[in-house]
Amino acid sequence: MSIIVSAKDLNLYYGAFQALIDVCLDIPEKEITALIGPSGCGKSTFLKTLNRMNDLIPGVKITGELTYHGENIYNGGLDVTVLRKNIGMVFQKPNPFPMSIYDNIAYGPRLHGKLKKAALDDLVERSLKGAVLWDEVKDRLKKSAMGLSGGQQQRLCIARALSVEPDVLLMDEPTSALDPASTAKIEDLMSELKKNYTVVIVTHNMQQAARISDRTAFFLVGVLVEVGQTNDVFSIPRDKRTEDYISGRFG
């Protein structure tokens, strides 16, 4: 098992409030790791530390170590733009740019370097195929992305993240705003993505975590209570708090 991202004694403070407490978690390459727990337990906060999205919030202080390919991403000399290219993010609510489907996908690659039109065309097609969206949109690439359905918009956002060829894909409740049919498509897509990418997903839906993830980490009030193979966490949890949450006694 090759570890791509690793947190060691990670603490995060919003001003005086401590949102993460001594979190130690290894994320294996080319697997799906699900972060579960009740609202406000720190799972989305932890997810955002992985590509330094919390930098954008005033008053945040982080201690401990978080490494990506062995390098501490919180050291002073790191290029955050490059980090976010390598560790992409898909948010809860689909957020396509108000431009064409093609330009949504081409935006990141254009930002990171000049590509000839033929290479860009190929990359757009490859990214949309990677998000299982190509067949639905190939005849309307120049039309606005805002005309797509919610489920299509979320797959477009996944394609947009894939277009800069990341290593890791972070997903913050990517299906919570979608209907069951769109949710099923995104779950199928995630199982495909892990062949080439490492996926970390925050989900409130425990059935979803059980269906799609290889490993599950359970957070409670900023503490990582338990982490392990998903089947083990759901069938033979080691901690009473995990068992109580999974069985619906709280949360």
Tell whether 251 is covered by a domain: no
Sequence-distant (6+) residues with CB within 8 A of 117 are none
| pLDDT at 161 > cutoff 70 | yes
Tell whether 94 is covered by a domain: yes
**Average confidence score pLDDT of the chain:** 94
| 3-state SS track over 181-200 | HHHHHHHHHHHHHCCCCEEE
pLDDT tens digit string along 105-121?
Answer: 999 899 877 788 999 99
Tell whether 166 is covered by a domain: yes
Domain that residue 154 falls in: 3-246
Taking residues 140-167, report their average pLDDT: 96
Residue matched to tokens 């913050």 = 172
- What is the pTM for the complete model shown? 0.94
CATH of the domain at 18: 3.40.50.300
Give the pLDDT score at 177.
86
Tell whether 157 is covered by a domain: yes
Tell whether 182 is covered by a domain: yes
Other beta carbons within 10 Å of 63: 12
Taking residues 176-194, report their average pLDDT: 92
Number of domain units in the chain: 1
H helical segments located in the chain: 43-49, 80-86, 101-112, 117-130, 134-137, 150-162, 180-193, 206-212, 230-235, 240-246
Taking residues 143-165, report their average pLDDT: 95
Tell whether 96 is covered by a domain: yes
pLDDT tens digit string along 40-78?
Answer: 999 999 999 999 999 889 999 999 999 999 999 998 888
Taking residues 213-218, report their average pLDDT: 98
Query: What percent of the chain has a predicted confidence (pLDDT) above 90?
Result: 90
Give the pLDDT score at 251.
58
Tell whether 151 is covered by a domain: yes
Sign of CA dihedral 96, 98, 101, 103: negative
Give the pLDDT score at 145.
97
Tell whether 126 is covered by a domain: yes
Give the pLDDT score at 76.
80
Taking residues 207-216, report their average pLDDT: 97
Q: Higher pLDDT residue, 111 or 220?
A: 220
